Amino acid sequence: MKEIKSTSTFFEYENMAELTLIDQELMQAAIEVRKRAYAPYSKFRVGAAILLDDGTIIVGSNQENAAFPSGLCAERTAIFYAGATHPNAVMLSIAISASSDLKPTVTPIPPCGACRQAILEYENKQEQPIRMLFMGAEGPVIESPSLINILPFHFDKNSL
């Protein structure tokens, strides 16, 4: 038996103002689309904004359903739309902002496991990292230089 270590490096920004202007614009797009999320059941709103290599920003928000599992997270709404409409574009970064209508959300909210898996697929497809920025409604922002950085021991096409 041997020990296998897995390490990840993240960057923390005190708040949005510390981001570059391009990242601020991307996060602002995530915040704006978050406000229009359809989340009548959880009251938890998530917005995601993806920057493509041609400068286009693709956004998505969580879309809930009375049959709960039929809803979809913001990140997958955005990335599937980007994949459908810009199949040859490279996705440079994804910014995510989450807030609850019921309580303040001031800590960074990372993407769920299913969304990590979905984003990994596109990172592998384009063979280039997708930078990730995530935050709550306000407060600190966490940057992960890639998706793979937050999904060790992942399942992908090499597993098939």
Chain positions 70 to 99 lying near ligand THU, rule: CB under 6 A, are 71, 73-75
H/E stretch holding 106: none
Gap between the Cα atoms of 148 and 158, Å rounded: 14
Binds ligand THU (CB under 6 A): choice among 115, 118, 119, 148: 115
Gap between the Cα atoms of 31 and 93, Å rounded: 15
Q: Is 23 in the site for ligand THU (CB under 6 A)?
A: no
H/E stretch holding 38: none
Gap between the Cα atoms of 112 and 71, Å rounded: 14
Binds ligand THU (CB under 6 A): choice among 107, 112, 155, 156: 112
- Closest contact distance (angstroms) between CB of 97 and ligand THU is 10
Q: Tell which residue, 23, 50, 43, 19, has the closest CA to residue 99.
A: 43
Active-site residue 138, yes or no? no
> Could you tell me the CA-to-CA distances from 39 to 34, 72, 74, 149 in Å, in that order?
10, 10, 11, 29
Binds ligand THU (CB under 6 A): choice among 83, 108, 111, 136: 111
- Extract the tokens encoding 57: 């920003």
Q: Is 117 in the site for ligand THU (CB under 6 A)?
A: no
Window contacting ligand THU (CB under 6 A); options: 4-12, 80-88, 111-119, 120-128: 111-119
Binds ligand THU (CB under 6 A): choice among 31, 49, 62, 94: 62
Decide whether 55 or 136 has the Cβ nearer to ligand THU: 136
Decide whether 59 or 73 has the Cβ nearer to ligand THU: 73
Task: Give me the residues paired with residue 58 across strands.
Answer: 50
Residue 111 carries which DSSP code?
A: P
Known catalytic residues are 75
Chain contacts with ligand THU (rule: CB under 6 A) = 39, 42, 44, 46, 62, 64, 71, 73-75, 111-112, 115
